[in-house]
Amino acid sequence: MPRIAEIARKTKETDIKIKLNLDGKGTANLVYPIGFMAHMLNTFARHGLFDLEITASGDLEVDQHHLVEDTGIVLGQCFAQALGEKRGIRRNGSCLFPMDETLARAAVDISGRPFLYFDGQLSESPLISTNEGGLEYKFQTGVIEDFWQGFAGAAGCNVHLEILRGRSDHHKIEALFKAAARSLRSACEIDERAKDLIPSTKGSLPGFDAPSVLV
């Protein structure tokens, strides 16, 4: 069965539609108003080999927080839906990813029990660039933790992300997205030796729907 999910979420603050194919080729089709986050989401798709379609808008006149956090939530919901009961997956994955002067580490466990550990070593200074019209554009780096908090909660997984060393906030964030994508790719892969099994010694806890809780 194809492991594909498509979810739309509309609130008074954001309007987000995401389609995810876990077994893709790393193709991203994005209509996303925050250029730096679009760059990170494209990177995430490429390194995870996830096919990703996103159309999003939000109240950027208020802040970037709402749209970025809600994007993490909807993306996490797509992972939970596409994985279903998680039968046959490897369940956990990790990656040590170097990017120039930066070294990032990620580890994930798709257990159904949400938890985020985040140590991005970010300066909180905005990343400044210009758009096609020559207007100055600032990205609020603090919202990156909000994205991963939303993702971990909605996907129902443990996510540990940390920067071991680095200087550039751009490199730190990008290395974290690459490490997380490769960790999730490994965790979501089907283990041919256990493709008919729930990856747990006890199975799934009764009374839970999606994401199912593994123990």
H-run or E-run covering 50: none
206 in any annotated domain: no
Domain of 33, CATH number, reads 3.30.230.40
Q: Nearest 5°: CA angle at 121, between 116 and 124? A: 100
H-run or E-run covering 168: none
SS3 52: strand
The reported pLDDT for the residue numbered 214 is: 73
22 in any annotated domain: yes
Per-residue pLDDT of the chain in tens (215 residues, 90 and over written 9): 899 999 999 999 999 999 999 999 999 999 999 999 999 999 999 999 999 999 999 999 999 999 999 999 999 999 999 999 999 999 999 999 999 999 999 999 999 999 999 999 999 899 987 665 666 779 999 999 999 999 999 999 999 999 999 999 999 999 999 999 999 999 999 999 988 788 887 666 554 455 667 75
Whether 163 and 103 have beta carbons less than 8 Å apart is answered as yes
100 in any annotated domain: yes
212 in any annotated domain: no
**Structure tokens, 106:** 């990620």
182 in any annotated domain: yes
Calculate the alpha carbon distances from 14 to 57, 60, 125, 142 in Å. Answer: 6, 9, 25, 19
Q: How far apart are CA 90 and CA 22, in angstroms?
A: 13
Q: How many structural domains are present in the chain?
A: 1
180 in any annotated domain: yes
The neighbour count for residue 194, using CB atoms within 10 Å, is 14
Domain that holds residue 22: 4-194
207 in any annotated domain: no
84: closest CA among 155, 17, 133? Answer: 155
Find the DSSP H helices in the chain.
35-48, 65-83, 143-155, 169-188
200 in any annotated domain: no
Whether 20 and 52 have beta carbons less than 8 Å apart is answered as yes
